[in-house]
C-alpha cells in the first residue's frame, strides 16, 4: 500500500487515504494486537479527521479491540495516555505538518513509542492489504474520555518555575495543540498572546509547518508588536516546535537544541548523576557535539525518525534527544517527542538566567550552513540515494548510516530520502567560509541530478 511509510501512514484524502481504507487499517491494527487490547484514539483538526477516526474505530472494535476516544488531541497527548495513564496502545489521526489535502495515522505502543516498520507497521500494512483480520471475538467496547486536565497537570508538575513576568506568543497554526499548549503556559504563570490557536482544518492562515520561515512571519511580527520574551510555533499535531526570540527573529533550531542540551546537562551535574548522553540526528550541526562536550556530556549521532530516536534514547538511557526538524525528546515524557516539555525548559532557562533569548543564543558559534528539502518522485527517491552513494564513494570516504554523508576538514554534506514524503532532505555546513563554498558547489551539482 502506497500510504504506508517507515514511521506512519500518510496520503491525500480521499484519493489515497479514505474511510474504507482506514477501516481496514483499523482491523489490521486490531489483528496485530492481542484480543481484548485497548487503543487510545485521538485526531487532529483536519476536516477529514473525524470521519477517518470513526472508520478506524469501527475497524478496531469489530475485530475485538476496545477503544478510548479522546477526541481532538495533540499527538503528544495520545502518547501521554499510553505511557502515563496506562490506557493501552495509541493511534493519532493526523496529517502532521503537511498541507490540508493530506491526512495520516501514527501508531504507538503502550509506552507511547511510535510503531515503525521494524516494530510492526510493515506487518500492519500487510494485514490491511490482505484483509486477513481476526474474527470470532466479541466486539470491542467504545468509551470516551477527556484527558486534557490530566495532561495539563502533568506538564505543570515538570517545572518548579512560575513564569510570571514572561510574555509569550503562541502560534497554534490552527492545529490541535494551540489552545491546550497556551492553557498550560497560562496556568504556569505566563502572559500568553494567542494567534491561530482555534482549530480549523482549512488552515486559513498558513500551512502548519513551523520549520519553514515563510509560515512564521506573523509570529515574528506579533512578538515584536507585543514586546514578548519568546514566541512558540507548533505544527498541526503539536510535536514540532519552532522558536522566535525577543527580537522577533526565528532561532536556528541547532541553537535551541544546544541551549536545551546545555540546560539538562548542567541540571544533571547539580543532581550528581553520571548519565550524560544526548542523542541527535545526522542533520544536526557540529555545534551540538561541541556544546555537549563542553558540558561534560556524551553526544550520540543517530538516524532520523522519532521511532528510531526514542528507541536509541531507551538503549542509552539518554537525558534527551533532538532533531533539526524541531522534534525534542525528554526522559520526563518517556522519550516521546513532546515539545511542550521543551517549551517549559526554554522558559526555565529564561527565568533562571534573567537573560533574553537573543543574548543567550548569541554565544553559540555560527556555522555556515544550508538545509533544504528537494521535491522528487516518490518512486525514484531511494534509487537516487543508492546511485549517489556509488558516485560519491569513488571520490570520498562516505558514511551511510542515514542516506549518504561526506565529512570534510571543517564540515560535512548529507543527502537522504525522506521516509514519509516525496522529497530528498539535504544539508551541509562548515566553520570555514571557503570550504562552505566548495561544498556548496558539490551539493548544487548533485541537486541538479535529483529526479523531478
E strand or H helix at 277, and its extent? Answer: strand 277-281
E strand or H helix at 38, and its extent? Answer: strand 38-43
- Whole-angstrom Cα distance, residue 150 to residue 78? 12
Contact 144, 72 (CB under 8 A): no
E strand or H helix at 412, and its extent? Answer: strand 411-417
Q: Say which DSSP state 217 is in.
A: H
Residue with grid cell 538566567, as numbered in its chain? 353
Q: Which of 55, 92, 96, 418 is catalytic?
A: 96
- Whole-angstrom Cα distance, residue 112 to residue 391? 40
Q: How do the residues of the chain divide into helix, strand and coil, expressed in percent and rounded to 5? A: 40, 20, 40
Q: Under 8 Å CB-to-CB from 163, ≥6 apart: which residues? A: 185, 188, 189, 190, 347, 351
Residue 96 falls in the annotated catalytic set: yes
- Whole-angstrom Cα distance, residue 3 to residue 305? 17
Q: In 338-380, which residue ranges form alpha helices assigned H by DSSP? A: 339-353, 357-362
Helix then strand count (H, E) for the chain reads 14, 19
Report the relative pairing of strands 142-144 and 66-72 from DSSP bridges: parallel
Q: Is 159 helix (H, G, I), strand (E, B) or coil?
A: coil
Residues classed as catalytic: 96
Amino acid at each position: 500500500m502506497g500510504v504506508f511509510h517507515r514511521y506512519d501512514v500518510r496520503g491525500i484524502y480521499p484519493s489515497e487515504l479514505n474511510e474504507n481504507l482506514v477501516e481496514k487499517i483499523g482491523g489490521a491494527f486490531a489483528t496485530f494486537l492481542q484480543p481484548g487490547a485497548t487503543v487510545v484514539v485521538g485526531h487532529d483538526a483536519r476536516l477529514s479527521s473525524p470521519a477517518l477516526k470513526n472508520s478506524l474505530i469501527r475497524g478496531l472494535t469489530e475485530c475485538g479491540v476496545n477503544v478510548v476516544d479522546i477526541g481532538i488531541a495533540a499527538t503528544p497527548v495520545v502518547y501521554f495516555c499510553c505511557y502515563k495513564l496506562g490506557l493501552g496502545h495509541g493511534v493519532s489521526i493526523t496529517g502532521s505538518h503537511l498541507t490540508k489535502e493530506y491526512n495520516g495515522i501514527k501508531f504507538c505502543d503502550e509506552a507511547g513509542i511510535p510503531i515503525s516498520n521494524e516494530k510492526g507497521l510493515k506487518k500492519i500494512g500487510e494485514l490491511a492489504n490482505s484483509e486477513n483480520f481476526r474474527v470470532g471475538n466479541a466486539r470491542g467496547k467504545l468509551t470516551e474520555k477527556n484527558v486534557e486536565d490530566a495532561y495539563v497537570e502533568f506538564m505543570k508538575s515538570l517545572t518548579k518555575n512560575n513564569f510570571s513576568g514572561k510574555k509569550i506568543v503562541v502560534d497554534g497554526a490552527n492545529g490541535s495543540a494551540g489552545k491546550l499548549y497556551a492553557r498550560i503556559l497560562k496556568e504556569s504563570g505566563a502572559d500568553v498572546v494567542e494567534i491561530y490557536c482555534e482549530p480549523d482544518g482549512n488552515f486559513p492562515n498558513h500551512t502548519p509547518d513551523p520549520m519553514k520561515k515563510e509560515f512564521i512571519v506573523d509570529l515574528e511580527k506579533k512578538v515584536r508588536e507585543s514586546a514578548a520574551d519568546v514566541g512558540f510555533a507548533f505544527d498541526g499535531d503539536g510535536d514540532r516546535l519552532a522558536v522566535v526570540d525577543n527580537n522577533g527573529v526565528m532561532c536556528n533550531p541547532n541553537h535551541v537544541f544546544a541551549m536545551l542540551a546545555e540546560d539538562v546537562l548542567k541540571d544533571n551535574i547539580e543532581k550528581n548523576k553520571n548519565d550524560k548522553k544526548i542523542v541527535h540526528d545526522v542533520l544536526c550541526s557540529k555545534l551540538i557535539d561541541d556544546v555537549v562536550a563542553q558540558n561534560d556530556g556524551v553526544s550520540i549521532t543517530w538516524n532520523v525518525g522519532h521511532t528510531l530516536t526514542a528507541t536509541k534514547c531507551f538503549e542509552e538511557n539518554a537525558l534527551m534527544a533532538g532533531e533539526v526538524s524541531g522534534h525534542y525528546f525528554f526522559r520526563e515524557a518517556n522519550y516521546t517527542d513532546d515539545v511542550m516539555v521543551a517549551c517549559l525548559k526554554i522558559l526555565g532557562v529564561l527565568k533562571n538566567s534573567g537573560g533574553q533569548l537573543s543574548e543567550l543564543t548569541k554565544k553559540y558559534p555560527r556555522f555556515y550552513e544550508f538545509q533544504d528539502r528537494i521535491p522528487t518522485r516518490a518512486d525514484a527517491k531511494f534509487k537516487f540515494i543508492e546511485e549517489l552513494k556509488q558516485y560519491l564513494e569513488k571520490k570520498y570516504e562516505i558514511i551511510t548510516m542515514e542516506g549518504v554523508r561526506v565529512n570534510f576538514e571543517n564540515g560535512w554534506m548529507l543527502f537522504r530520502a525522506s521516509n514519509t514524503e516525496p522529497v530528498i532532505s539535504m544539508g551541509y555546513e562548515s566553520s570555514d567560509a571557503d570550504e562552505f563554498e566548495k561544498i556548496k558547489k558539490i551539493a548544487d551539482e548533485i541537486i541538479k541530478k535529483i529526479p523531478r
